[in-house]
Amino acid sequence: MKKILIIGGAGFVGSHLVEELLKIKKNKVYVIDNLFLGSKKNLHKVIKKINFFNFDASNQSKVKKNFKNRNFDIVFNLATKPINYS
């Protein structure tokens, strides 16, 4: 079993990645998303099959608190900060 963390997993690309990774039954998927640009609606098909954490991954104390004893095999960082358009 692979433990996979997806940062920004509630966004468009992230949510599709989550769905694809869950098709491989041995994967255990964790998602961190602050829902600034993403939405839990994007994960509605899989929300019961994942471990979802609603906070900003740049908050190091929350990351350490929630993932201190978890060793991930794969980490995908799809989080982004919004870019102001001119």
The pLDDT of residue 85 is above 70: no
Residue 42 covered by a domain: yes
The pLDDT assigned to 39 comes to: 96
Nearest Cα to Cα of residue 49 among 31, 62, 64, 65 = 31
Q: What is the mean pLDDT of residues 51-80?
A: 94
Residue 52 covered by a domain: yes
Residue 50 covered by a domain: yes
Residue 7 covered by a domain: yes
Separation CA 27–CA 19 (nearest Å): 11
Separation CA 7–CA 64 (nearest Å): 14
Contacts by 65-70 with C-beta closer than 8 Å and gap 24+?
A: 67/5, 67/30, 70/3, 70/30
Residue 84 covered by a domain: no
* Count of domains for the chain: 1
Residue whose token pair is 């019961």: 48
Q: State if pTM tops 0.75.
A: yes
The 10s digit of each residue's pLDDT in 12-55 is 999 999 999 999 988 999 999 999 889 999 999 999 999 999 99
The pLDDT assigned to 81 comes to: 77
Separation CA 20–CA 40 (nearest Å): 17
